[in-house]
A and B are shown apart, each in its own frame.
Chain A
Amino acid sequence: MTTVLAVISLVFVLLRLSPGSPLYTLLGFSYSEEGRAAVAERLGLNASIPEQYVRYLRQLAGGDLGASVFSGQPVGELLAQRLPVSLELGLVAGAVWMALGILAGALAALRHGSPFDGLVRVTSVVALSVPSFWLGLVCVLVFGVYITGVLPVSGYVPISEGLPEHLRGLVLPAFVLGLPAFAVVARTFRGSVLEVLDRDYVSFATSMGMSRRTLLARVAMRNAAIPLVTVMGLMLGMLVSGAILVENVFGVPGLGQLMVDSFRRQDYPVAAGCCLAVAVLYLLTNLLVDLAQLAIDPRIREGVLNGGRVR
């Protein structure tokens, strides 16, 4: 909660500190002193900064995010349009790629030193390094110029126009967006499985005659999952930054595109609303991560570790 308040305040301060003003963009060539005063009055920009801040907080508390300076459309409505698009893209990309990452990481760790292990190591470091917008452009080039007609490279097909078409449109953006998540998950999980397999309790379980399969499924993977969950939570920031760039490349009308547009036009309320949405998403993910850790690790449940993070 304090984090949300801090983010709101930070956003507010940055908005008001920045030298540009939507007034100029809005009025454009028809700029005149009277026109400026009228618009400033309408947008409430004449009040003192603390007054504006208090009013902004009061509006937020009432669930009112304000309206776009340009279109007059309520910010809440805009977010309701754009957020689901980004969420779907992020969830599809995240789920598929993270699952692949877990699989690749686990297999690489179990075959430590094998060619497959090497392959996973190389793939993940390359995947982590490729700038998403560049990879997106390469995809646009390949599927837009050389291999045409297989996958759409631009635009967004709403689900109302049929599920297959809708999913086909998601393939490329999701592929590009999720790749870094794959890399991080594969690397982390490979590392933590290797570490767990080295522990005394694993040797002990083996010497007690526990079968390899049970050992892996019930002991090793569960312990190795603890750092993984933390890292998956941190991945949200990466997905958000990625979404801004990837949505731009593929012309997906999601939150990222809304954000870039609102920053370019200095549309205060929309920009603030987007940042707020990101911050709330982050907090929700953190909550989910904490709950997942409770579910995985009985030591946290019992409070043995005083609520501290477990290695």
Chain B
Amino acid sequence: MSAVVSAPRGARLLPRDGLTWFGAVCAALFCLLAVLGPSLAGDPNATGSDVLAAPSLTHPFGTDQLGRDLLARTAAGTRVSLTVSLAAVALGLLVALPLGIFAGYHGGRLFDDLIMRVLEIVQALPMFVLAMFVIGLSGTATAHLGPIPITMTTKVVLLLGVAFVPYFARVARAATMAETGQEYVAALRVVGVPRLRILFGELLPNVAPAMVVQAFLAMALAVFAEGGLGFLGLGVQLPQATLGNLTGGGTGYLPAGVWWYSVLPGAVMLAGILGFNLIGDALSDSLGGRGTTHVETR
């Protein structure tokens, strides 16, 4: 959107402006807390006599009603949040990329229309409503699909992943359509390169930048959705701490002035969402991958 657009592709790896640096730091802290936190902060389920203690040196995030250290619980929750989001985005990409690339390359009306219709239906029921719907109705216990147990964590991942598919597929389709029009694709065809090789060897690397941008924005969305479901009690269940159920668990104590219980885990969530959003934004400025949301070319 700004002057960055004119920069050649991939010429700059380090961000130039402060805001993007801030985002990168937020995201890095979020990931560090998820990866290293649980081993450094101790057992998230160890109870203590120090009940609902305000943040101090021994308990930087305070303690909850059972005297559990909230830093340890937040770290454990951040790990859940990051794992679920990464898995959901990966799942969405894995399904949507081939779909979108095939649809874009062949430009077949039928397939195209199908994706658009599915997208329309999914949009009429917002992602969050859909997720709440399925989880609320299928219950929060572990379900069984034949011999395979489906835990709550898996359920959240599956739902978010599936909800991402139409969005990713649409972006992949649009990016592929733009690439298919380029001369090099026609040249490859003439030379007789096999179709799959064109699609996944030559087209995919050119579609990838747009998808990377979407992946970061989707990460932010996934962290939010996982948190929201947890907050409503429809996410990963206690005693496993998640950012959402910590934020929700503290609401009852807010009127008594216990601010750290809800606010601090929520602030960590905010850092993660903000970080991923800012990185996605910066990438879309330098890679130019955003432009498919309202520039529909049919």
Contact = CB atoms under 8 A, between A and B. Distances in A.
Interface of A: 2-4, 6-7, 10-11, 14-15, 18-20, 121-122, 125-126, 128-131, 133-134, 137-138, 140-141, 144-145, 191, 194, 227, 230-231, 234, 237-238, 240-241, 244-245, 248-249, 259-260, 263-264, 266, 271, 275, 278-279, 282-283, 308-309, 311
Contact of A266 (B120, B123, B137, B233): B137
A175 to B, nearest CB: 17
Nearest to A130: B270
Contact of B298 (A2, A128, A145, A308): A308
In terms of DSSP, what is the predominant structure of the interface of chain A? helix
Given A241-B228, A245-B228, A14 B1 contact: no
Nearest to A24: B139
Nearest to B272: A129
Interface residues on B, range: 35 or more
A131 B129 contact: no
A19 B143 CA distance: 8
8 contacts: A3-B117, A7-B124, A125-B274, A125-B278, A241-B127, A244-B232, A263-B132, A275-B133
3 closest Cβ pairs, A-B complex: A263-B136, A134-B266, A237-B126
Contact of B255 (A11, A145, A191, A282): A145
Contact of A275 (B125, B251, B263, B298): B125
B254 A133 contact: no
Interface of B: 1, 19, 117, 120-121, 123-129, 132-139, 143, 220, 224, 227-228, 231-234, 247-248, 250-251, 254-255, 257, 259, 262-263, 266-267, 269-270, 273-274, 277-278, 281, 293-296, 298
Contacts of A2: 117
Contacts of A3: 117, 120-121, 124
B124 A263 contact: no
A244 B254 contact: no
B294 A227 contact: yes
A4 B121 CA distance: 8
Most A CB within 10 A of own CB, among B128, B137, B224, B263:
B137
A150 to B, nearest CB: 16
Contacts of A283: 124
